[in-house]
Structure 1
Amino acid sequence: MERLIRLLPFLAWLPQVSGRDLRRDLGVGLSGAVLALPQSMAYALIAGLPAEYGLYAAILPVLIACLWGSSKHMVGGPTAAISVVLFTAIAPLAPPGSTQFIQYALLLTFLAGLFQWLLGLLRFGVLVNFVSHSVLLGFTCGAALVIVIGQLPYLLGIAAGGQGTALSSAAALWWKLPQFHVPSLLVGLFSLVLSLVVKRLWRRGPALLVGLIGASALVWAMPATFAGVAKVAAFRSALPPLSLLRFDLSAIAQLLPAAVACGMLGLVTSLSIARALAARSHQPLDANQEVRAQGLSNLIGPWLSGTLSAGSFTRSGLNQDAGARTPLAGVFSALWVALLAVAGASLITHIPLPAMAAGILLICWNLVDRPSLRALWKGSRAESLVMLLTLAATLLLPLQNAIYAGVLASLFFYLKRTSQPRVQQWAREDEEVLRIEGSIFFGACDYLQKLMQHSRGERLVLDAHHVNFIDFAGAQMLQQEAHRLASEGRCLVLRNARPRVKAELVKQMGQGGVLQVEE
């Protein structure tokens, strides 16, 4: 049974679900589906896909992630940031919305899912911790700007242009501004204002859905005025069709860097949401199980036309606030999306694209975590610089490369900080004491050696009470300094070293040597 639960983890909690839990989760799932329906279609358009592919990504991948994950409340699906990365990675390879573009999107999703699943299988989920919170803040801010630039052509009713960086897209848009379509802009503004009014009067209401319905009704009621407004392309059925992936080696080579970036971004986002929800509800969380669940959802999803999915801030928050009892709330949400999509497939094609763009602009505004940005700016200048560098990278580089740039910036500042550990210095009688608060490793050797070379005491004492680790380079440096001081008639003493540090010194240098070790 234990082996079966590892294979099918939902068997651990499913038998304990009561009828009352089922009724509650069914209602919560409906609320989530109402929110997911317009959001998912909007994210598909951001990714350069037909609108129905957003619905496909909100069905099977969500169902799998909820059943195989460890969080009670997290609900996934397509997200804004990942949709932008999908678009910027694939747009140079195929025209957005084309059959080739869709095939590349599904292949990229499979590769990202494989990467995620392998990380979970090898219990390497801890790797996502290298993407710091400041990198995520900078990336989401930059992604919001990229999304806005990409959606303005739909809002203004002009032909979209500029594939590549945000700046090139903005430049292409600038030259086409005089061609904007007034009726399209009016429809978009009407939908945006209506959504804002609903959001103000009904905080948890389906503001995006009301805005889309209102704009659709306006276009339908005044066909002569709004005849030229573009609408969502028609599709036969919203049920996910079977998709056979084509494993072309050249395409895999081109998509692999973006797939790794998408996989990392999806995992960091999902785990951040899951941890925040777990802290609020005091539930245990298995990070590696969550990583495997996200990978499995993206491995299986593409075979039924589901593009990349990850944890959703808005849907997960709504799920917990509405009182979801079990992960079945997310499962029911996916099933409700499927039912609503099939029943309302003919109605979806009446939605104006400017209204969808207006809804996306509202999503972008909510995407920016303004309180965290203010706290980061007040708390740490170095982390603020990492955030700004990541933000700049999202505008100047292809978006998937911005994640790598942010991670490298974070690692640079971390290594700079650890290479100069805090050292307190004082003298008493014939001793000069250096209390080291950090690790003695290859990166810090030069800094510590220069401090020791400036000492003038008969006995140079290194207080190692706060040293947790010493490597071979650190041990060699200490032994070298001990010999130098001995040649000058002085001595080097290591005091208050922890057993682990002592053991490492003995292993690296043996029992001999002129370095004195004291308790």
Structure 2
Amino acid sequence: MSLHKIFPFLRWLPLTKKTWKDDLIAGVTGTIIVIPQAVAFAMIAGLPPIYGFYTAMITPVIAALFGSSYHLISGPTTTGSIVVFAIISKFVTPDSDLEAFVSLTILLSFMAGVIKLVMGLAKMGKLVNFVSYTVVIGFSAGAGILIAFKQLKHVFGINVPQGSSFYEIIAYIISHIKETNLYVLGVAIGTLLIALLIKKVRYISRLNMLFAMILGSVLAVVLGGNLHSIETIGDVPSNLPPFKIPDFNFEDMRMLTSGAITLALIGLVEAVSISRVISLSSHQKLNNNQEFVSQGLTNIISSFFSSYVSSGSFSRSGVNYQAGAKTPLAAIVSAIGLLLVVLFFATYASYLAKPAMGGIILLVGYNLIDFKRIKQIVKSSKREFIVLSVTLLGTLFLELETALFLGILISLFFYLEKTSKPNIAIVGKNQDNKFFNIIRDATTKECPQLKMIRIDGSIYFGAVDGISKYFTDLYEKNDQKYLLILANGINFIDIAGAEWLSQEVLKWRNRGGGIYFVGLKLISQDVLQKGGFAKIIKEENFFKDKNTAIATIFKHLDKQVCSECKVKIYDECS
């Protein structure tokens, strides 16, 4: 095993000689964005704000060193925080016993990390391949809208209740629109405009979010700050994450097992989906297994430093990419930057205005919506449009994990439906003496004794019923006793397909004819050979080319019929 597989950071570390400036800018921008989020997410999880900072300091570094995505930023997330609170609060609440609540939360993080790591080592990253391109686009667009709308309370200065859903946010803001704080709105819109304007300035375009956040906060001070209820992120604690071994209590671990599995699966899908969303633009090739291992190690190691469960963050990963990050060094800079802020600049960081942060994240949310690809999907396929719509709307109105799984299930359903109906074409010879689909060329003719068909698709359990009905029609409605299958387009045959195929061969043989195969791939013959079905079909009925097959089958044809035949399309007929 190469060192690059054990230590993935060896692949990108040499690149930082040229990219360190871009990564530095993106990392500093990420530091500013994560400060208010770390506080908010910890509070959503029912934890003191300091645990959000611990998680945001430790997890990005480990994920950057062992992950495959160059732009994914790991840390506390909305989804993870909500799920953590839902799992732990079944057994203890922060109000009843905060110490026990924190202890169980960190243990849960460790357990989820172990599950992620095992899945990665077992190379289960292929599971993510079932998350289709359209699901990723829909999830990205939905998350972008959701992220933007969750910032509206900071944009309008309206006190939207904590934990409100998408439609509850809309309803609340509409019903309380008269309460809009114009000073707060001015800071948010001003920050957004500054970011857009700086983006157009050639030499500092990549600094647009960083400058906009700082200038937006300055604007808040100029407008009067607290005098006009323009909130800042408040006091930033100045503690570093302490080393502490999680409390490995067997009863607690048994109690949290199902929750840890759920949390691990959600975290993995979330992290890899975010990586895939960004890779659509960055064109980076990802290693899903490595990402599983990375997320597992991140949760395991960080749990020893008082951190709770982490995953990929949509908003911070989006900011990281849009701010010009080139390698995972940006994530490490972001974490180090947060550490330095906590140690030396906590007082200054407390002046960052929430409306300025809201304005920046509105821009991030908008940029997550890939209008170009959505337009392509809408134009190209109704089925893909349904998958896109369900995933997008599910992200807005359901739990994020539910939306993802729903999109995956629907896309798999459409895939299975499509593959359950392989294309079957009847083949003959045309006037140019070439084999051709009879519906494509009016001059194409068939032999009255030999039926020739081409199957494009796989013969598996989902397709057997449809193919069986087609073959029944061939058997009952045609006089030909011999059937030649052009099998180059058959991708694979499973045990159900092999069982049906062998019985179909016997049925045609009992009528005095037979079924023959041309060009069946070795991989498609695998089950036939190992399961003994090839012996039933007979090895001599498999051919490598059509001409040899036809010459062999011709020997079995009724020569009386041949003598009266007016078609005579094969060389042997003459």
**Counterpart residue number, 2:114:** 114
CA distance in 2, matches of 1:51, 1:200: 37
**Counterpart residue number, 1:257:** 262
- Contact 2:154 2:355 (8 Å CA) reproduced: yes
**Counterpart residue number, 1:443:** 462
- Contact 2:107 2:303 (8 Å CA) reproduced: yes
**Counterpart residue number, 1:376:** 377
How big is the shift at 1:3? 8.7
CA distance in 1, matches of 2:422, 2:230: 62
Deviations 1:389-430 (A, max 9, x none): 111212232222111111111111111111111222235212
Q: Matched residue of 2:427: which SS?
A: strand
2:138 partner letter: G
- Contact 2:421 2:463 (8 Å CA) reproduced: yes
Match among 442, 467, 471 for residue 452 of structure 1: 471
CA distance in 1, matches of 2:35, 2:534: 69
Please list every run of 5 or more consecutive structure 2 residues that lacks an aligned counterpart in the other structure: 429-445, 544-574
- Contact 2:149 2:166 (8 Å CA) reproduced: yes
Alignment of 1:286-305 (within 5 A): 287-304=288-305, 305=307
How big is the shift at 1:130? 1.2
How big is the shift at 1:209? 2.6
Distance change in 2, residues 1:502/1:211 (3 Å): closer
**Counterpart residue number, 1:270:** 275
Q: Say whether 1:150 aligns with 2:164.
A: no
Question: How many matched pairs?
Answer: 501
CA distance in 1, matches of 2:176, 2:111: 37
**Counterpart residue number, 1:124:** 124
- Contact 2:115 2:261 (8 Å CA) reproduced: no
Distance change in 2, residues 1:97/1:400 (3 Å): farther
**Counterpart residue number, 2:562:** none
2:518 partner letter: R
CA distance in 2, matches of 1:150, 1:104: 28
How big is the shift at 1:376? 2.3
**Counterpart residue number, 1:37:** 31
Q: Matched residue of 2:414: which SS?
A: helix
Match among 488, 492, 501 for residue 478 of structure 1: 501
- Shifted more, 432-441 versus 83-92: the winner is 83-92
- Contact 1:153 1:159 (8 Å CA) reproduced: yes
1:464 partner letter: A
How big is the shift at 1:244? 6.6
- Contact 2:499 2:533 (8 Å CA) reproduced: no
Distance change in 2, residues 1:501/1:251 (3 Å): closer
TM-score after normalising by structure 2: 0.75
How big is the shift at 1:112? 4.4
How big is the shift at 1:473? 1.2
**Counterpart residue number, 2:312:** 310
Distance change in 2, residues 1:122/1:104 (3 Å): same
Distance change in 2, residues 1:359/1:407 (3 Å): same
- Contact 1:436 1:466 (8 Å CA) reproduced: yes
CA distance in 2, matches of 1:210, 1:118: 42
- Contact 1:113 1:263 (8 Å CA) reproduced: no
CA distance in 1, matches of 2:504, 2:59: 59
CA distance in 2, matches of 1:380, 1:315: 32
Q: Matched residue of 1:237: which SS?
A: coil
Identity of aligned residues (%): 28
Q: Which structure has more RCO (C-alpha within 8 Å, separation ≥ 6)?
A: 1
CA distance in 2, matches of 1:45, 1:388: 33
- Contact 2:128 2:288 (8 Å CA) reproduced: no
**What CA RMSD, in Å, does the superposition of the two structures yield over aligned residues?**
3.7
**Counterpart residue number, 2:441:** none
CA distance in 2, matches of 1:468, 1:243: 54
Distance change in 2, residues 1:97/1:363 (3 Å): farther
- Contact 2:109 2:303 (8 Å CA) reproduced: yes
- Contact 1:486 1:514 (8 Å CA) reproduced: no
- Contact 1:37 1:55 (8 Å CA) reproduced: no
- Contact 1:74 1:319 (8 Å CA) reproduced: no
1:356 partner letter: M
How big is the shift at 1:250? 5.0
- Shifted more, 426-435 versus 486-495: the winner is 486-495
Deviations 1:110-169 (A, max 9, x none): 454333322221122211111112111111211222223322122222222264642344
- Contact 1:41 1:53 (8 Å CA) reproduced: no
Distance change in 2, residues 1:395/1:7 (3 Å): closer
Distance change in 2, residues 1:501/1:356 (3 Å): closer
Deviations 1:302-356 (A, max 9, x none): 44336524383542565665xx6xx656544533443245332111211222222
**Counterpart residue number, 2:220:** 219
CA distance in 2, matches of 1:153, 1:400: 24
**Counterpart residue number, 2:433:** none
1:39 partner letter: I
**Counterpart residue number, 1:85:** 79
CA distance in 2, matches of 1:357, 1:105: 29
- Contact 2:30 2:319 (8 Å CA) reproduced: no
CA distance in 2, matches of 1:217, 1:474: 70
- Shifted more, 483-492 versus 421-430: the winner is 483-492
How big is the shift at 1:107? 6.0
CA distance in 1, matches of 2:210, 2:323: 15
**Counterpart residue number, 2:60:** 62
2:497 partner letter: G
1:167 partner letter: Y
CA distance in 1, matches of 2:27, 2:239: 14
Distance change in 2, residues 1:482/1:337 (3 Å): same
**Counterpart residue number, 1:507:** 530
- Contact 2:80 2:309 (8 Å CA) reproduced: no
**Counterpart residue number, 1:497:** 520
- Contact 1:261 1:403 (8 Å CA) reproduced: no
Alignment of 1:59-458 (within 5 A): 59-69=57-67, 73-74=70-71, 76-78=73-75, 83-90=77-84, 109-161=109-161, 163=163, 165-202=165-202, 204-223=205-224, 226-237=227-238, 239-241=240-242, 248=252, 253-254=258-259, 256-270=261-275, 273=278, 287-304=288-305, 305=307, 307-310=309-312, 312-316=317-321, 330-427=331-428, 428-429=446-447, 430-455=449-474, 456=478, 457-458=480-481
CA distance in 2, matches of 1:433, 1:103: 70
Distance change in 2, residues 1:188/1:113 (3 Å): same
- Shifted more, 461-470 versus 250-259: the winner is 250-259
TM-score after normalising by structure 1: 0.82
- Shifted more, 127-136 versus 5-14: the winner is 5-14
Deviations 1:30-73 (A, max 9, x none): 212222123223544674648776654443222222333456x4
How big is the shift at 1:478? 1.6
How big is the shift at 1:365? 0.7
Rg larger for: 2
CA distance in 1, matches of 2:94, 2:205: 33
CA distance in 1, matches of 2:424, 2:36: 54
- Contact 1:107 1:302 (8 Å CA) reproduced: yes
How big is the shift at 1:444? 0.5
- Contact 1:89 1:400 (8 Å CA) reproduced: no
Please list every run of 5 or more consecutive structure 1 residues that lacks an aligned counterpart in the other structure: none
CA distance in 2, matches of 1:12, 1:212: 33
1:180 partner letter: T
Distance change in 2, residues 1:370/1:285 (3 Å): closer
